[in-house]
Amino acid sequence: MEGRQVVTEVDAEGCPSAPEDASTKFVNQCGVIVRARIPITTRLWKTTKPEEQQHAVPAHQKEMLWAELKDMFTLSEGVDQELVKKCALRKMALAFATFKKKLYTNYIKKDKEPNWDDLPQVKPYWEEFKQYKLSEEAPKKSEQAKVNAANKKYNHHLGAAGYKKSVKNGRRWSRTLWIEASSRRLGIGRIDPSGGYLLMA
């Protein structure tokens, strides 16, 4: 069909490998289509948890993405179409996750907004996406603060010597106390405070 890119070969995972320009176009179009069709407020590409289904891309929408992509290519005879479809959906999943990550890193973390002339499809969902990402970030920061505080408390109790030296010192003083108790009971000497050794009377 006129305007379609012909794919003559695919690799073991079903991704177009020849001709080279078909391979490049395939990957690029996966990104273009998923960024244009799936709202950024969609949190998951797929899930097996019933309670998360509302936040994932539904199966029928993935079929529509595949149909749109497939219309841009002609697969040569012998090419496994289902295998190519699996490759396409993996590429789309990766492109979608990368797109949202860049929006968060380049704009939300910097308290900036995108140029809406460049990303008109994002604008209707921006505020919801932004609020979700910020609310998602807050628990992570809180949890990290707890971990940091716990580490500081742990290190404080151990002192500057750290864990290994504290264990060594603990063993040493356990031995010292045992010797001291024995010497007092038997009345045979005293403890050298510098080394924890028994000095005979």
Residue with tokens 């490998």: 17
The pLDDT tens digits of the residues spanning 144-198 come to 777 877 776 555 455 444 444 444 555 554 555 555 555 555 555 555 555 544 4
More confident position, 66 or 169? 66
Quote the pLDDT of residue 198: 46
Mean per-residue pLDDT of the chain: 83
Query: Whole-angstrom Cα distance, residue 180 to residue 117?
Result: 82
The structural domains of the chain, with segments of one domain joined by +, span 5-143, 164-200
In eight-state DSSP terms, residue 55 is G
Confidence category of residue 8, pLDDT binned at 50, 70, 90: very high
Calculate mean pLDDT across residues 37-49: 96
Six-digit token pair at 64? 């529509």
Scanning the chain, the segments in alpha helix (DSSP H) are 20-37, 59-70, 81-103, 126-158, 162-186
Quote the pLDDT of residue 160: 46
Compute CA distances 18 → 2, 48, 85, 108, whole Å.
19, 35, 16, 39
Query: Whole-angstrom Cα distance, residue 12 to residue 35?
Result: 26
